[in-house]
Structure 1
Amino acid sequence: MKDSPIEEVNPDIESIVKGNTAFALDLYERLKPTENNLFFSPYSISLALAMAYAGARKDTERQIAQVLHFTSGQQQLHQTFACLEMELKAVQDWSGILLRTANSLWPQTGYPLLKEFLNLVNNYYGVVVTAVDYQKDPEAAENIINAWVAEKTQDKIQNLIPSNSLNELTRLVLVNAIYFQGDWKNKFDNTLTETAPFWITSAKKIQVPMMEQQETFGYKETEDLQVLQLPYVGNDLSMLVLLPKQINGLRELEDNLTLKNLANWIEGLQEREVRVFLPRFRVSSQFQLNETLIAMGMRDSFDENKANFSGMDGRENGFCIGAVVHQAFVDVNEEGTEAAAATAVGMVNLCLSEPPLPVPVFKVDRPFIFLIREKITGSVLFLGKIVNPEESL
């Protein structure tokens, strides 16, 4: 496999990736109280909300920027997102993995969106614009949008927009979809996969299919934590597994999951031979993110009396966000990983995501956190935790 064509990352891209990662960890902090498995795509949510941000003004604009950690002006931000998308596309073109994103706008038939807004999201996000009729048949509109999402995610994301979520007040839905499929650079031999215990808590264990291999990987160990980087073909995308040393150590790991610590763990990885045990798992998650985003600071966006998305239709009290829904899926097995996610933002007129070292053993037999990230830009595409690998198998 040839080396990456990307020689160095634009500083603007580094800034936006740092902001996207900060948002990812902020959102994880809000979603982590679940006792179940968790998986989402912060990248998909950031992209969908960036398109909404393109039409936000005044306090609404300021609050979205604060929550999403957008630090540059509107024009530069969207240009940089477009550059980031181009670099991720270049990774797919040379690396042998599939990494596809798609954006779409679904306005009410005949609703007059500003030409400037449509030009911006088309130029920088490559949106497909399709008019639908929410007033006459919102159910048909739901079905059309959901079918588009399913097609863009290889049918892994079904029914992103729940039944009866859209109504005659809906005027616009902005959607992002992302799909990833990559084989491991070093595949697991399925003849070595055996049933083994996985400790959900120190007092409760289950039996799961545990994959095994011994290879050279990026590895770091601290007093409380083991970190492993499992690369996909092309060596650019990888899964980063954060494994607490204590069975009941997930809570402490979550408390320490900061931007600074994550950067230090990644920078501290060293190539060495590691004996790896990793459970097969499959997880799907679905979220309605309204209350979460409001709690994070996007208050005005959902308030019919305060929202200002005049950059979309020219009216200060025209739009507010009615709903932000997100769905994600991941399947990890001996061959590699398949992951997909989609985010929809529904806009409505009125409001109703040295010497030889001993070979370390990295045995993932207890709850852990994992990320799928692109190495060159540092983009965190997916983030989650596994409490019970059997939960969704």
Structure 2
Amino acid sequence: MINNDFLTKFSQRIFNHLNDNENIFISPQNIMTAMSLVLFGAKRETRKILSEFLGIDDNSKIEEFQKSILNDEVFQSLAAAWFRDNLVFENSYLDFLKRIECKSETLDFSDQKSKDLINEWVEKATNGNIKDLIKSTNENTALVLTSVCNFIGKWNHAFDKKKTKNSKFELSNGKTIETPMMNMKEEFLYAETDEYQMISLYYQSGYYMRIYLPKESKNSFDLEELDNHFAKKAEETKVDLSLPKFKMSKEYDLKEKFAEMGLGNIFSNKADFSGISKDLFVSDIVHKTFVECEEKGTVASAATGVSMALRCCVRMPKEVVFKADHPFIFTINKNNQILFLGKVENPND
């Protein structure tokens, strides 16, 4: 079974680059799904740069990762490759897509209806949570790679709606707002460090949300270090838990972010994706997400679209209090695989 440490490191790097005083919600697993489809066909310097960025290299490992992606009644993940209808693509790449059961379809990208077909597929696959992922296509579009995922998790211990009360939530700037706060007393896996309280709230089928609540707002966040500490020190503990309800939709221009993080090569004329087809470069990467957390459980969706164009254009007390009344970080996971990563800066936003 593939080791998911590379996904944890990838999650941390993206989060660090996005982290500011606003809500964040991304799916590192979903982004990796799409970007590893790109990496499979990268060659020479482009492959070196992209593999170092993603933390995965050998094509057999890429295929192993793709085949290890969770799919069950709680979490579903799909990928699709949309090819330009009059362009020749490498048979080895097409065979790879077949082996990982990636949907493949040819389109006339000069017709804007092609964009609508892709967006309809994404919207349907995410139960309507992600709309209009791809903004446009044109005669230079050669390939669009899309990955989607959908999560519907019911808590093992549901919150009682009657106990949900408006409570104060302190923002990073020191201001306070009123927000619906869910409350319960129950035993949870819990651990803490000098800087963080951590708790795992389990859904059905082994999925869980892990919440990292800083004791001070400016504490640094090291996901791998905190998870290692949790694995060693977490104990079943009676917790007086308060957690805000929250709902957010986010959109990220990852082309801009990834270029800032040193991935400029794949967006330039220097890009080499000859393992897919000749004269390709990445023209756009967009990532859209949705999450709603309430008394019964959590719904989350994500989609990533990678457009490629032709180069013609360029230990604890028996009871503790865990009151998430200020910004916190959370993940949704199974088997140590980070499916979603977020920060609640303002649950009302």
Query: What band does the TM-score fall into relative to the shorter chain?
Result: over 0.9
Shift of 1:294: 1.8
| Aligned counterparts, 1:176-255, within 5 A | 176-201=147-172, 203-234=174-205, 236-246=206-216, 249=217, 251-252=218-219, 255=220
Match of 1:380 in 2: 338
Shift of 1:202: 6.3
Contact (CA 8 Å) 1:63, 1:299: kept in 2 or not? Answer: no
Match of 2:245 in 1: 280
Instruction: Give the 3-state SS of the residue equivalent to 1:307 in structure 2.
Output: coil
Instruction: Give the 3-state SS of the residue equivalent to 2:171 in structure 1.
Output: strand
Match of 2:103 in 1: 128
| Aligned counterparts, 1:13-162, within 5 A | 13-14=2-3, 17-33=4-20, 35-70=21-56, 72-74=57-59, 76-85=60-69, 88-89=70-71, 92=72, 97-124=73-100, 126-135=101-110, 137=111, 139-162=112-135
Distance 2:48 2:324 in 1: 42
Query: How many residues are aligned here?
Result: 348
1:119–1:167 CA distance, 2 compared to 1 (3 A)? same
Q: Counterpart of 1:310 in structure 2: which amino acid?
A: S
Match of 1:5 in 2: none
1:297–1:122 CA distance, 2 compared to 1 (3 A)? farther
Structure 1: 5+ residue runs without aligned partners? 1-9
- TM-score computed with the length of structure 1 as normaliser: 0.85
Contact (CA 8 Å) 1:142, 1:166: kept in 2 or not? Answer: yes
Instruction: Give the 3-state SS of the residue equivalent to 1:65 in structure 2.
Output: helix
Q: Counterpart of 2:27 in structure 1: which amino acid?
A: S
Shift of 1:73: 1.4
Distance 1:176 1:64 in 2: 18
Distance 1:344 1:122 in 2: 19
Instruction: Give the 3-state SS of the residue equivalent to 1:102 in structure 2.
Output: strand
Q: Counterpart of 1:73 in structure 2: which amino acid?
A: D
Matched, 1:291 2:256: yes
Deviations 1:185-215, CA, capped at 9 Å, x for gaps: 1000001101111111463111100001111
1:141–1:201 CA distance, 2 compared to 1 (3 A)? same
1:256–1:293 CA distance, 2 compared to 1 (3 A)? same
Distance 1:83 1:103 in 2: 12
Distance 2:293 2:226 in 1: 25
Between the aligned residues of both structures, percent identity stands at 30
Contact (CA 8 Å) 1:372, 1:382: kept in 2 or not? Answer: yes
Instruction: Give the 3-state SS of the residue equivalent to 1:311 in structure 2.
Output: coil
Contact (CA 8 Å) 1:231, 1:238: kept in 2 or not? Answer: yes
Distance 1:46 1:364 in 2: 30
Contact (CA 8 Å) 1:301, 1:307: kept in 2 or not? Answer: yes
Shift of 1:116: 1.1
- Cα root mean square deviation, aligned: 1.5
Matched, 1:366 2:339: no
Deviations 1:279-331, CA, capped at 9 Å, x for gaps: 00001110111122122232211112x10000012x3xx10000010000100
- TM-score computed with the length of structure 2 as normaliser: 0.96
Contact (CA 8 Å) 1:184, 1:233: kept in 2 or not? Answer: yes
Match of 2:298 in 1: 337
1:57–1:201 CA distance, 2 compared to 1 (3 A)? closer
Shift of 1:258: 4.3
Distance 2:42 2:63 in 1: 17
Distance 1:293 1:104 in 2: 22
Distance 2:120 2:329 in 1: 31
Q: Counterpart of 1:322 in structure 2: which amino acid?
A: S
Shift of 1:333: 0.1
The match for 1:173 among 144, 151, 156 is 144
Contact (CA 8 Å) 1:241, 1:369: kept in 2 or not? Answer: yes
Structure 2: 5+ residue runs without aligned partners? none
More strand by share: 2
